[in-house]
Amino acid sequence: MVIFTHKISDPKGLHAVSASALARFCLDNPCRIRVSCKGSAADARQLMGLMKLRAKRGDILEFQVEGEGQEQTAQALKTLAGELL
């Protein structure tokens, strides 16, 4: 399992467009990916689960990536999070 964090810098936080792009990336990936924020967690493939995290600017997201190719997936996800959030 690979675990990493990302601090949200986007003034809009984890909004619908960024959550949708994140979920789309995760749907196309065979790894199991979970996102946690402020004590809540969501399957990163579920758009509504991501939205329910209500992550705002300055919040820390914790990503857990597990499965075949997890290192490569985590690296790609770090890059994506940096671009989106």
pLDDT band at 42 (very low <50, low <70, confident <90, very high): very high
- 1: pLDDT strictly greater than 90: yes
The tally of domains found in the chain comes to 1
% residues pLDDT > 70 (the chain): 100
* Burial class of residue 4 (count of CB atoms within 10 Å of its CB; 0-12, 13-18, 19+): middle
Q: What is the CATH number of the domain that holds 55?
A: 3.30.1340.10
pLDDT at 84 over 90: no
Rounded Cα distance, 85 and 55, in Å: 10
Over residues 31-35, the mean pLDDT reads 96
For residue 41, the enclosing domain spans 2-84
Amino acid residing at 19: A
